[in-house]
Amino acid sequence: MKEIKLSDHFTCSKLLLFAMPTIGMIMISITYDVVDGYFVSNYIGKTAFSAVNIIYPFQLLLSMVGYMFGSGGSALIAAELGDGNQQNARLYFTAIIKTAAAIGVVLAVVGVLLLRPVAVMIGATPEILEYGLPYGRTLFLFLPIMILGYTFQSILITAEKPKLGLYISLGNLFSNALLDWLFVAIFKWGMVGAAVATGIGACLNGLVPLIYFARPNSSPLHFCKGSVRLKPLLKACGNGASEMVNDMSTSLIFVLYNYQLLRMLGEDGVAAYGVTVFVEGIFAAVFYGLAMQATSIVGYHFGAKNYPELKSLLKNGIILNIAFGILMFVLAQVSAPLISRIYVGYDETVYRLSIHAMRMYALAFLLQGFNEYASAYFTGLNNGLVSGILAFTRTFLIQTVMILVLPLFLGTDGLWLAQAATEVFAAVIAIVFFITRKREYCGS
């Protein structure tokens, strides 16, 4: 099969085919956490599983700077490639990776220092802290390489090497599963073992691309010497900030969910939410994959001023995301009992609660892909302002209101429906921007 290039015309089938390695990579990446959750829940216990769900958002919050560099950098690099400026693309690529690595070291120190006060602030009990602090502190030691891994996820697409990301992720998955089994189930290292298994696997995501781009390769990108103009680089960071805001807001929403659940349902609620979030990540990998590759493809054709292709990418992307949204909703309804049994089958109360939570939460899938794609599309257009507004209003502003208000009328069901209600309001806002900013992708 002929290799797909960013310069190609993308039908629905080609868009999906090009995104498949990225979808697989994201699905596998999310599976790391699923594997950790399985071993922690079944071999250490329910309280330890709740601790992972309390600590994980803070770690995710700091690591999401990698998505800022990856998505914003990809749009900038793709635009330079589309405009024929290959040397500029390489200079920006080199500068982005160096900056991401340096900031990763700083954030690792911040994470270790602030872990306890942040965990206490969001309601962690002494029992949860006993499990969560060793897990979090160990995980933060690997943060710099995790941030590089997140940055490379997007840039590998721009380099037209999405399959490399998939292969790396497969290696990560097998190493993480094997090490979790050894460290947690066999050696009984507890939470530290789970964190070390995840961290070692993350090294593959960061180090393998680092070595690949440091050597001559078949992609248009490699590390090079030279200086870059600061203004475009800052613009790339601002553009990518929308994706970072999206994921950082998601982390803060995890905290808010956990706070509400601890207050209303205790550790059982946090455990049930943990199952739902892990599964949501796997099911929504298609949405994230389509969004990530959209940033690079749209960025390339935006740089080339190919407006017919930009309109086609918008139409076909929406069709794919709506179709997969319906499919994911149906799958979630059918598979909820099986998935809940795997994770928390040892506790009947949590088992039933997680089935109910998953089935109600799954309504969000119907529009989630559309909203993810909308934000990524504007990132590809190098319009960080609109992309940031879409990301912030959807993942933080609207959802915060839903999490706080809906339970007042619907009780705990309001928490499980908060995400779906958020997607409805966010879709309306995205449609308004597509109508009012039509000139950016139509050219007139």
- In the predicted model, is pLDDT for residue 311 greater than 60? yes
What is the C-alpha to C-alpha distance for residues 347 and 15, in angstroms, rounded to an integer? 43
pTM above 0.75, yes or no: no
Domain membership of residue 250 as a residue range: 12-442
Contact, 258 vs 266, CB < 8 A?
Answer: no
The mean pLDDT of 174-183, rounded to a whole number, is: 88
Using alpha carbons only, what angle is made at residue 228 by residues 223 and 233, rounded to the nearest 5 degrees?
95
Sequential DSSP letters for 102-114: HHHHHHHHHHHHH
Question: What does the pLDDT look like over 213-227, one tens digit per residue?
Answer: 998 888 888 888 877
Residue 6 lies in a domain: no
Given pLDDT bands bounded at 50, 70 and 90, which one contains residue 198?
A: confident
- In the predicted model, is pLDDT for residue 177 greater than 50? yes
Residue 398 is predicted with a pLDDT of: 92
Residue owning tokens 């900031």: 103
Helix and strand numbers, DSSP H then E, in the chain: 18, 0
Residue 246 is predicted with a pLDDT of: 63
Given pLDDT bands bounded at 50, 70 and 90, which one contains residue 434?
A: very high
The mean pLDDT of 58-85, rounded to a whole number, is: 79
- In the predicted model, is pLDDT for residue 1 greater than 60? no
Residue 394 lies in a domain: yes
What is the C-alpha to C-alpha distance for residues 393 and 400, in angstroms, rounded to an integer? 9
Centroid of chain to Cα 260: 23
DSSP-derived secondary structure letter, 186: I
Question: Domains in the chain: how many in total?
Answer: 1
Share of the chain above pLDDT 70, in %: 93
Q: How far is CA 413 from CA 251, 348, 362, 364, 405, in A?
A: 21, 19, 13, 14, 12
Question: What does the pLDDT look like over 360-397, one tens digit per residue?
Answer: 999 999 999 999 999 889 988 888 788 888 888 887 88
Question: What does the pLDDT look like over 244-299, one tens digit per residue?
Answer: 666 666 667 777 887 888 888 887 887 788 788 777 877 788 898 888 888 888 98
Contact, 205 vs 169, CB < 8 A?
Answer: yes
Residue 221 lies in a domain: yes
State the angle between helix axes of 162-180 and 190-214 in degrees (0 to 180), rounded to the nearest 10. Answer: 160
Residue 414 is predicted with a pLDDT of: 92
The mean pLDDT of 98-112, rounded to a whole number, is: 90
Residue 346 lies in a domain: yes
C-alpha dihedral over 30, 35, 36, 42, to 10 degrees?
140
Residue 1 lies in a domain: no
- In the predicted model, is pLDDT for residue 107 greater than 80? yes
- Mean of per-residue pLDDT scores for the chain: 84
Residue 185 lies in a domain: yes
